[in-house]
Structure 1
């Protein structure tokens, strides 16, 4: 078993590899290094916390057509598609809202802020249509004035999937790529399914479930982890896209198991925002997924056997 742990995308990233099928073993370290480089390169383009990222260039030049790389164009196309498919429940255009709540720096620095850099104008009005235009011919994008992109979980999920594909394309067939609880699980662990623990949101040192997973992806969205105080009020990073405020929901944690990590990310976040009743209807339309909902009351509902 080969394990590699490093920091990226504001979280701990882990490669866990069953190396018994990889030949030659000596070159596995080179594959791991190249996979890490792929992840770091994608993060550098898609983060809003670096002024020189492609995402920041778009945000800094709203109203103008900006040429971007193929990777950035691909994830922005996916973001637009998910905005439309979810009728705006997934909304990657709330950068100003998130900044106004204090999340204008990486989470590790969020408690050290002293300045008020931006004040959003109320009432908050969600966009009815995507404010992001894409030109497939020129590979250019244009963001309307008054908006800021924050790709959040969809970028994280996509980057993890791209990194997993890099491992697969370089001969690694049995592994977990885990970025802060968002996982791509490929193949098996010595012939057995990978065992994935689902964190208890009321006690993060414990698991409420252990799942047997093979060739599937797992994503969790929760309001219990990334929280901070804003003018004496406790807030979190899961924003209701129709109110521009942290979601007021009866769900504290939602985990989705899906063939696609992006789909798992979107469904988990949408379910948490919508609440249990609407989440059940959402999952009924996505039969290929399993799910685990933990309510604020402590009650657990799930579709897993």
Structure 2
């Protein structure tokens, strides 16, 4: 029997079958059966390392960076990146381009060209922003190759964490046969072996880590499936006198500026939930109508603290509880 290799910074709670650490420049939480905790943590950490090595925009040796550098030509890449790009293109197609994976050049020009902790909070340099073109339609994935269109650059930030949560959770079920919750920066997937009972979990919602770690907030009880939160309150910086955040409206190439600071959505996977929550932030005032038309269970929080929910959210019986 091999010994599980755990992340160096992992915090384990064996009696509760829970663990937390940092990966992909964000927090990771895992919950599973106590007896399987070490093996689950080791496997999830391995999957997230693979995602980072293949899908990071900030690693020059990643498969994504190599594909971007080879724009205009099919580039042989790792299957993990192929899968991640397919998920991102599905999100773009389902939202008519509202969730666009080809905004890498826009984010780079705006100053988000390195791991966010290294991005200056204030940079007076002007941002020479490219004109958005909707070039996601021209990304080609064939077999083990990805071809990025000339003039574009892939950025999987909109769906990457959710994809990683789904991939890690499914790996746990397939290889270890136990139920699991994997939360990667607020995008989470709960699943278990076919035919088994997947336990529900209490999940705290918040628009930033301060709120999540504090004593105020909202707790929901969710079962099998995905849940994701998109927020304009995290990853913010100023460039050339403009306030930026990481959620860009692909129709304008500028930060989404609607009334919602945070949107939480449910989906059959974390990626599906994240697709809906991101699209809602981008849509702004049209978000509620779009979410209702797509029968998405979602909770929206405005910059002024206003809370709105869709009928599907109200009908989901999430046992929402205000904590004080």
State the TM-score, normalized to the length of structure 2. Answer: 0.82
Question: Is the CA contact 1:199–1:207 (under 8 Å) kept in the aligned structure 2?
Answer: no
What is the correspondence of 1:181-196 to structure 2 with a 5 Å cutoff? Answer: 181-186=186-191, 193-196=200-203
State the partner residue of 2:17. Answer: 2
Question: Is the CA contact 2:77–2:145 (under 8 Å) kept in the aligned structure 1?
Answer: yes
State the partner residue of 1:174. Answer: 179
Taking a change above 3 Å as real, the CA distance of residues 6 and 114 of structure 1, as seen in their structure-2 partners, is same
SS at match of 1:130: helix
SS at match of 1:170: helix
* Pairing 1:285–2:283 present: no
Question: Is the CA contact 2:124–2:240 (under 8 Å) kept in the aligned structure 1?
Answer: no
State the partner residue of 2:271. Answer: 262
* Pairing 1:149–2:158 present: no
SS at match of 1:275: helix
Residue deviations 1:150-195, cap 9 Å, x none?
01131211111110111212335333211121111346xx996311
Length, aligned pairs only: 291
SS at match of 1:195: strand
SS at match of 2:158: helix
CA positional deviation for 1:206: 4.7
CA positional deviation for 1:87: 1.3
Residue deviations 1:47-98, cap 9 Å, x none?
1110000000011111111112222222222222322221111111011110
RMSD (Å), alpha carbons:
2.5
For 2:63 and 2:124, the matched residues in 1 are separated by 25
**Structure 1: gaps spanning 5 or more residues:** 20-24
State the TM-score, normalized to the length of structure 1. Answer: 0.87
State the partner residue of 1:160. Answer: 165
